Amino acid sequence: MTVELRRATPADHDAVSRVVVAAYAPFTRGRHDDYVESLADSARRDLEAELWVATDDGDGEVLGSVTVCPPGSAWREIATEGEAEFRTLAVHPAAQGRGVGAALLDLVERRARVEGDTAIVLSSLPTMTAAHRLYERGGYRRAPERDWQPRPGVDLVAFVKELA
């Protein structure tokens, strides 16, 4: 399988929403709350940030997506000046383990380098251990000094990758 990476189009939004909700299902436990609604709102992420998709170049099926959060985006949470940030990296469960997540991480890094950023940051739920392994294989390190809570009872762990 070969993966094509490109900016999402409005025609991708429904497929991206399904992929993200499916990928995050183990962490949302079937909740129907504002977080799940936010995960499903790919059109908003595309409008307020940069939504990228990974598709199967054979049939065009959306396999995964990532939201790149440029300066000024409402989706930026922990990035400081000179840092890139991404959110909501998701790979459909049926496509996990096939290099889609790594391809999306590579895309984020290429975008950061083009923008002249010196590091990339992200936040993750502590229970997303498979994603953490992906980040660590991609050169990210835990940054516990940047861990935070977007609201009481929701703890997020931070990762950073320094760019040479």
| Residue that is written with structure tokens 């984020």 in the block | 108
Model pLDDT, residue 32? 62
* 3-class secondary-structure state, position 127: coil
Beta strand pairing status for 50-56 and 62-68?
antiparallel
Contact 83, 120 (CB under 8 A): yes
Contact 86, 122 (CB under 8 A): yes
Record the pTM. Answer: 0.94
Please give the pLDDT value at position 33.
Answer: 65
pLDDT tens for the chain, residues 1 to 164 = 689 999 999 999 999 999 999 999 888 876 666 778 889 999 999 999 999 999 998 899 999 999 999 999 999 999 999 999 999 999 999 999 999 999 999 999 999 999 999 999 999 999 999 999 999 999 999 999 999 999 888 899 999 999 98
Q: Are 99 and 107 in contact (CB under 8 A)?
A: no
Topology of domain 3-120, per CATH? Aminopeptidase (3.40.630)
